[in-house]
Each structure stands twice: as structure tokens, then as C-alpha cells.
């Protein structure tokens, strides 16, 4: 199955099994907005709780908050979002389609990168085991020529964007011969800056009311509460403040299902450190976040780090953890060394001192910040795209299985009476009533047992507990593991211990 087909299947599977629905579907939907269904909201809650447990509860020096979405408009002035949270947009006059100018250039570079990869794959097949990919890339004239094209495009893009030279960005698009993917023409408008914040008015009438913004990131809610948490929590540097919540961006091109949305959720943590120590913490958080991702059973080959070509207005170092989505490697999480930019800016505009007295150095200073920021919806998509699998079984049949980490699975245990009579359902419900105190369980007695197993595989349930004749005799059940499909007979009273032990062994530990 190619990646395009895989992506289509993931989208339709999500809808069929109640993970994700298009928003407002009975009114023909709303572009780039989605609703989470009965299983989707369980999975989303589990990702959020796992992140919270890992980042807040597993670290003695990180606390969590929940700040409001509406905030004082000056916050977005201080943070730089009013002036600088822009994307460069360009329209094609023939197709009337709108694009992000930098994304057009990135797509151009990705196409050339594809050519290089094909060249390397071809050579690897030709030369077999003796093939040295690194040496090939450094010496093959066609690869070198293509690499030069990428480097040129990247350097010019960064140069023009950093200088806010929008005419330069347009010239580059023309010079590279980039055509509109829809019309195929090079009939472009000028490049313009477009602010991504949604605004609305607070107050009952527009006249005299304040314009406020829907937050484009949750981070600012943390910065403006820095002093409150510092004092009330008696925090000592280094320490972190975390929060999860909705963020809104008026994306020019929202696409790729839940990858780029206009309303989405972030899970962010700001780690406050001594100035000068930020790079060491930046490296620490890169390592820890990678460890967190790997704890979910997704292999390392699905991830890569990508250092930013163009740093955001607040950062002195930044890297993305990219994930291999069905449409290629794309940003999943950002790790940013934000310096003292935000606290300094709020200190200046609010007139309130946002400083820390360090008892070890006897100094007052504005701490530096290392941030980890991941989109909850993007993580959902990463989990789902890795998990979806159509598997051929030994008997020639196929099954669709979601290999979601048991830690995140929406339903942890399915309780299945082998038949619908003779006291089996009563016994199964008795087990269910105990287990549901600890795990999200589902009871299912409809259809043959094989079909019920398939239904649970398709929604990623890691454990199926089956009640059979022997259960009534000796209080044992079979427990079936989703991926191996192996069944083991265990006593009912051990179920909770077995499942808890398995889950605990998989969890992230800092």
C-alpha cells in the first residue's frame, strides 16, 4: 500500500470507528476543523494525561497550570505576535489559490531531495553491500548538483525572510521556476504578510470594546503567571511550568487532516533556568522528549531532529522533532531556547518585575527559558499513522489492527463471554465491574468470538478477556494480547496485577 492510500485509509478508519469526524458535517463541514468522536476523545485524553504525568507528575520541579484562553491584548503586543506572527502569503492569479510562499519553496526543495534519495537508492541496489551512501552523496555529480540547488534555495529563502524582503521572496519563487500545483502557471501576485491571530471583541457592543485575540500558543499564559507560580509554589530554579489547552491560528493553508488545523490543542512546558545554562537544558530536553516518544513503542527511524533554518523572533536555538507521517517527515514537536525574551518583554510592558532571586549566587535575574511544545492533535495523528496496520494472518485472512501503545489505547480491556447464555454474561459482567474501577473496559457479547476479536483489534484494544466454560469451574479466564494474538489462561484475581504491570513497564521514566 502506498503512503497516499495509507493516509486515505487512516482518515476513513478514523471516521468509521468514531475517532475523528469532520466538524459540522451535516452542514457540509468547516474547513480544517474536526471533532473527536467517542474513541477519539478517549485516545486524546490518554495522550494528554500521559504527557501530563510524564512532564508534571514525574518531575519534582515541574508544576502544571490552566490559564484562560482570553488574555489581556497587551500580552500579544509584548510577545511580538501582533507585529511578527505572520506568514508570507502569495496567490496564483489563474487558479485563485493561496499559498504560503515559504511552503512553496520548501516543497520545491523536497522534490529535489526526493530525486537525490532515488539516485541513492538506485546506486545502493547496483553496488550491494559494499555501497557507501555517505561517500556517494559527497562525490556523485548529479547528487552534488541537486544538493547545490537545495542549498541555494534554502539560503536565499532564509536571507529574504529574515530581512522581511517580500519582493525578494517573490523573485526567488520566479527564479526557481515554481509553478502553481493547480493551474501550472507562474502568474503570481506579490508576497504579503498575513497575521495568523484570530481576533474578536470583548464587551457587549463593538463600539469602545477591546479587541482581544484567541491565543495562538498556550506559552504566554505561563509567562504571565510566572511570578504567581514562583511565589505560591516556592519554586527554585531550575523549574518548569506546564499547561495543555486550545490554541488558534488562522492558517493560510490548513490541510493534511488534523496535521494543520485552525483550532488545535498544545501541550507546552516552559523550563526556567539560570542565564548561561540554557544550552545544557536545551540538550537535556531534546534527549528527554525523544525518550518520551520512544516509550510509546514507535521506532527511532520514524523520528528525526531538524534544526530551524530561520529562528523565531524569541529563540537563540530551536529544533523540531519531525515525524514520518504518511505525507513525509514533518514537525511534530518544537524545542526552543527562548532566552529571556518573553519575561523581559512582559516586564517592560507591564512595569512589573519578573525576576528570580537566586540564593546560590545572591543575584536577581530574569530567568532564561527552554520550551518544549507539542501539538496534541499532531501527536494523535502520529500515533494513529504508526498504529494502523493491515495484516495477513497464517490462515490467509486479514485483520486491521491499531497497534497503539497499551498506555494510550482508548479501551484497555474488552470483556467477552464466549456465549450469550449459561451464566457466561453474568460472570463477564462481574469481572467487568471490578476491572472498570481501574481501566476503561468494553463489554461485548454480540457475534462469534473471532469477529469480536477483530472489532477490538480495529480500535487498538490491547487485552481481550474471554469468559468460557472453565471460568465457571475454576475462576480462570483467557487473556489475549492484541499484537501477538497469544492467549494465556490466568486467574481472574490476577488480571489487574498483570495488566497494571505491563502498562507500568512501558511508561516513560525521566
Q: Which residues bind ligand GAP (CB under 6 A)?
A: 217, 219, 249, 251, 260-261, 264, 266, 268, 331-334, 371, 373-375, 377-378
User: Residue 107 Cβ, how far from ligand GAP at the closest point, in Å?
Assistant: 17
For residues 259 and 424, which CB has a smaller minimum distance to ligand GAP in the complex?
Answer: 259
User: Residue 306 Cβ, how far from ligand GAP at the closest point, in Å?
Assistant: 11
DSSP for 278-307 reads: HHHHHHHHHHHHHHHHHTTT--GGGEEEEE
For residues 46 and 373, which CB has a smaller minimum distance to ligand GAP in the complex?
Answer: 373
For residues 220 and 466, which CB has a smaller minimum distance to ligand GAP in the complex?
Answer: 220
Longest CA–CA span in the chain (Å) reads: 81
Sign of CA dihedral 147, 152, 155, 158: negative
User: Residue 371 Cβ, how far from ligand GAP at the closest point, in Å?
Assistant: 6
For residues 64 and 168, which CB has a smaller minimum distance to ligand GAP in the complex?
Answer: 64
Q: Are strands 398-402 and 363-365 parallel, antiparallel or unpaired?
A: unpaired
User: Residue 118 Cβ, how far from ligand GAP at the closest point, in Å?
Assistant: 29
Cβ contact 298:279 at 8 Å:
no
Sheet architecture: strand order including 368-375: 62-64, 239-248, 263-273, 368-375, 328-339, 317-325, 303-307
For residues 343 and 465, which CB has a smaller minimum distance to ligand GAP in the complex?
Answer: 343
Residue of minimal CB distance from ligand GAP? Answer: 375
Euclidean distance between CA atoms 380 and 403, whole angstroms: 13
For residues 336 and 412, which CB has a smaller minimum distance to ligand GAP in the complex?
Answer: 336
Euclidean distance between CA atoms 48 and 334, whole angstroms: 17
For residues 17 and 264, which CB has a smaller minimum distance to ligand GAP in the complex?
Answer: 264
User: Residue 128 Cβ, how far from ligand GAP at the closest point, in Å?
Assistant: 39
Residue 322 neighbours by CB distance under 10 Å: 17
User: Residue 373 Cβ, how far from ligand GAP at the closest point, in Å?
Assistant: 4
User: Residue 333 Cβ, how far from ligand GAP at the closest point, in Å?
Assistant: 5
C-alpha cell of residue 316: 537563540
Half-sphere exposure of 118 (CA within 13 A, CB side): 8
Residue 364: is it exposed, middle or buried by C-beta count within 10 angstroms (0-12/13-18/19+)? exposed
For residues 88 and 334, which CB has a smaller minimum distance to ligand GAP in the complex?
Answer: 334
**Residue 250 backbone class (left: φ over 0; alpha: ψ -120 to 50; beta: rest):** beta
Residue 401's DSSP bridge partners are 389
User: Residue 58 Cβ, how far from ligand GAP at the closest point, in Å?
Assistant: 21
Amino acid at each position: 500500500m502506498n503512503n497516499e492510500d495509507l493516509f486515505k485509509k487512516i482518515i476513513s478508519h478514523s471516521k468509521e470507528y468514531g475517532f475523528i469526524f469532520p466538524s459540522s458535517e451535516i452542514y457540509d463541514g468547516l474547513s480544517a476543523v474536526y471533532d473527536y468522536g467517542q474513541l477519539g476523545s478517549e485516545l486524546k485524553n490518554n495522550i494528554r494525561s500521559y504527557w501530563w504525568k510524564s512532564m508534571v507528575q514525574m518531575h519534582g520541579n515541574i508544576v502544571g497550570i490552566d490559564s484562560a484562553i482570553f488574555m489581556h491584548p497587551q500580552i500579544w503586543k509584548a510577545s511580538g505576535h501582533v507585529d511578527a506572527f505572520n506568514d508570507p502569503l502569495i496567490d496564483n492569479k489563474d487558479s485563485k489559490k493561496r499559498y504560503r510562499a515559504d511552503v512553496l519553496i520548501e516543497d520545491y526543495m523536497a522534490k529535489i531531495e526526493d530525486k537525490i534519495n532515488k539516485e541513492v537508492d538506485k546506486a545502493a541496489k547496483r553496488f550491494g553491500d559494499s555501497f557507501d551512501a555517505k561517500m556517494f552523496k559527497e562525490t556523485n555529480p548529479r547528487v552534488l548538483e541537486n544538493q547545490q540547488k537545495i542549498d541555494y534555495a534554502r539560503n536565499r529563502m532564509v536571507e529574504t525572510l529574515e530581512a522581511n524582503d517580500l519582493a525578494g521572496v517573490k523573485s526567488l519563487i520566479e527564479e526557481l521556476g515554481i509553478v502553481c500545483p493547480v493551474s501550472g502557471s507562474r502568474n503570481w501576485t506579490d508576497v504579503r504578510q498575513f497575521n495568523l491571530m484570530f481576533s474578536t471583541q470583548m464587551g457587549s457592543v463593538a463600539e469602545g470594546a477591546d479587541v482581544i485575540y484567541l491565543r495562538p500558543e498556550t506559552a504566554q499564559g505561563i509567562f504571565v503567571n510566572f511570578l504567581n507560580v514562583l511565589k505560591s509554589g516556592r519554586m527554585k530554579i531550575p523549574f518548569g511550568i506546564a499547561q495543555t489547552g486550545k490554541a488558534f491560528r488562522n492558517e493560510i493553508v490548513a490541510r493534511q487532516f488534523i496535521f494543520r488545523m485552525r483550532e488545535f490543542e498544545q501541550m507546552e512546558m516552559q523550563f526556567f533556568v539560570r542565564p548561561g545554562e540554557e544550552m545544557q537544558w536545551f540538550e537535556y530536553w531534546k534527549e528527554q522528549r525523544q525518550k518520551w516518544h520512544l516509550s510509546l513503542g514507535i521506532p527511532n527511524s520514524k523520528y528525526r531532529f531538524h534544526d530551524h533554518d530561520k529562528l523565531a523572533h524569541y529563540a537563540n536555538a530551536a529544533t523540531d522533532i519531525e515525524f514520518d507521517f504518511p505525507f513525509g517527515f514533518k514537525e511534530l514537536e518544537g524545542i526552543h531556547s527562548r532566552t529571556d525574551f518573553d519575561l523581559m518583554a512582559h516586564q517592560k510592558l507591564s512595569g512589573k518585575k519578573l525576576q528570580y532571586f537566586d540564593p546560590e549566587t545572591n543575584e536577581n535575574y530574569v530567568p532564561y527559558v527552554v520550551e518544549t511544545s507539542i501539538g496534541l492533535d499532531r501527536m494523535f495523528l502520529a500515533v494513529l499513522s504508526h498504529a494502523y496496520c493491515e495484516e495477513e494472518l497464517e490462515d490467509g485472512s486479514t485483520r486491521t489492527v491499531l497497534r497503539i501503545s497499551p498506555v494510550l489505547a482508548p479501551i484497555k480491556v474488552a470483556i467477552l463471554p464466549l456465549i450469550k447464555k449459561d451464566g457466561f454474561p453474568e460472570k463477564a459482567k462481574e469481572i467487568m465491574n471490578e476491572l472498570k474501577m481501574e481501566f476503561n473496559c468494553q463489554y461485548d457479547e454480540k457475534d462469534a468470538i473471532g469477529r469480536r476479536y477483530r472489532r477490538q483489534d480495529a480500535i487498538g484494544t490491547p487485552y481481550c478477556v474471554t469468559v468460557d466454560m472453565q471460568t465457571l469451574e475454576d475462576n480462570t479466564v483467557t487473556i489475549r494480547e492484541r499484537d501477538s494474538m497469544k492467549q494465556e489462561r490466568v486467574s481472574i484475581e490476577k488480571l489487574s496485577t498483570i495488566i497494571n504491570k505491563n502498562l507500568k513497564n512501558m511508561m516513560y521514566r525521566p
